[in-house]
């Protein structure tokens, strides 16, 4: 037990070795949490996914710096990951829940015209839309674009005319 205290420390008065040792353990636990939570948590980037990323980072940092007890922090992180998996399952299996949690895509441009009311709803300007068009359709020529959407994750995507 004394060796564990020397390596990992206790409380907030941690030296570099103790904080680094905690960092290594947290890194391994974070990797396990990512595997448990699934690829969605760190790939899709919806508001729900961002919540888990921010929450886990904030909570796990408390264990590294000794601001909170180690075991309760880890348990809390696993509870958050479990809750995220449950919400993800509900989103996949219940369309209404998915719309409630993540919203719906917003049509921003159609038939050669920007839709100002939808742009205000999405809090985007024409230049934001153009950035998305350049990125997704690889063009600046709006004559070749049929529709532009703000996706559920906030990205702007364009559909070219056929």
Q: What is the CATH number of the domain that holds 137?
A: 3.30.240.20
Q: Are residues 30 and 60 in the same domain?
A: yes
> pLDDT tens-digit profile of 14-41?
889 999 999 999 999 988 888 887 766 5
Q: Are residues 78 and 124 in the same domain?
A: no
Q: Are residues 11 and 75 in the same domain?
A: yes
Q: Are residues 31 and 109 in the same domain?
A: no
* pLDDT of residue 127 exceeding 90: yes
Count of helix runs (H) and strand runs (E) in the chain: 8, 4
Mean pLDDT of 113-128: 95
Q: Are residues 54 and 80 in the same domain?
A: yes
Q: Are residues 88 and 24 in the same domain?
A: yes
Binned at pLDDT 50, 70 and 90, residue 10 comes out as confident
* pLDDT of residue 156 exceeding 80: yes
Decide which of 43 and 91 is more confident: 91
Q: What is the mean pLDDT of the chain?
A: 89
> pLDDT tens-digit profile of 58-104?
999 999 999 998 899 999 999 999 998 898 899 999 999 989 988 89
Give the domain range for residue 153: 104-160
Q: What is the pTM of this model?
A: 0.73
Q: Are residues 95 and 119 in the same domain?
A: no
**Mapping DSSP to helix (H, G, I), strand (E, B) and coil, where does residue 139 land?**
coil
How many domains does one find in the chain?
A: 2
Q: Are residues 70 and 131 in the same domain?
A: no
Q: Are residues 70 and 11 in the same domain?
A: yes
What is the residue-wise DSSP string for 80-124?
A: HHHHHHHHHHHHHH-HHHHHHHH---EEEEETTEE-HHHHHHHT-
Q: Are residues 121 and 62 in the same domain?
A: no
| Residue with the two structure tokens 């921010």 | 54
* pLDDT of residue 44 exceeding 70: no
pLDDT of residue 39: 65
């Amino acid at each position: 037990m004394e060796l564990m205290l020397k390596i990992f420390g206790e409380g907030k008065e941690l030296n570099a070795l103790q904080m680094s040792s905690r960092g290594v353990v947290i890194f391994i636990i974070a990797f396990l949490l990512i595997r448990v939570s699934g690829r969605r948590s760190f790939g899709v980037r919806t508001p729900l996914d961002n919540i888990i990323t921010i929450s886990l980072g904030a909570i796990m940092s408390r264990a590294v710096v000794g601001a909170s007890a180690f075991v309760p922090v880890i348990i809390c992180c696993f509870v958050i990951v479990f809750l995220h998996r449950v919400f993800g399952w509900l989103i996949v299996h219940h369309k209404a829940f998915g719309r409630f949690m993540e919203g719906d895509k917003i049509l921003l441009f159609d038939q050669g015209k920007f839709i100002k009311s939808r742009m205000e709803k999405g809090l985007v300007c024409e230049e934001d839309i153009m950035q998305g068009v350049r990125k997704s359709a690889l063009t600046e020529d709006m004559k070749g674009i049929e529709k532009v959407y703000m996706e559920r994750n906030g990205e702007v995507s364009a559909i070219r005319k056929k």
